[in-house]
Structure 1
């Protein structure tokens, strides 16, 4: 009977540690990803070449996808994303919040030429509300190789991300 108190205390500490870890791990992982993917640049679209063994900006990147990445922070106001869609190929735009949740996705099945999206803290004016105000916007485009990337790259590089003025 005298072991009941310490056993209950140990169980409570274990349960609290478990809950704290479940809450903290996604935030820590996303903070590291945002630091690495943003390379010190916030609210700017970064266009990557085709991934290879040396350039792994995205965990387990697909070698046939070109990635454009915007690490965003809404502390200075809403962020506008203007994305251009190459014709007749897979394209997608996904938004992940700082908790690693995918909060928005759209692809070439519903978008044909261009897609504009505004991110905000509160969802005002039809914008997408982003819990916590930080995250990553990720554009993926299917390419068949370096020459194919060269053909679509000028259009892809027109995609932007920045604080809305």
Structure 2
């Protein structure tokens, strides 16, 4: 199962998938609001944990369905989880020249790499997300991995949104 497929499946049910890195370990957090329901290793197959307190508040009818889907993902070979390219767009030649998108409204802005301290803003694009923005705003350059304004995102950095 692709990571992006799991993200969509979770979002349709009110959950979200967040990539995190801590103490040289990379993992996915499955969250509902502020509660972490489960963690899945991003580097090891089958390394999957749930949190009772977080799971306890989840709707009963979703628990079995969720466990099945997360188990399937956790046993997917790591190289098969990869989806489309992720990258940043450096439009302006300064430290605030990174294209950012806002998760609730879809607005675009130029700011820092992380979009911080503005909560909800992100600077990492997937190819499909960027192409949607390009379609709505043709002033943005079309994606081309050879164009130096498109910088590949580091696979080990923290992902917030997608």
With the length of structure 2 as denominator, give the TM-score of the two structures.
0.27
Structure having the higher Rg:
1
TM-score by length of 1: 0.27
Which structure carries more relative contact order (alpha carbon 8 Å, separation 6+)?
Answer: 1
More helix by share: 1
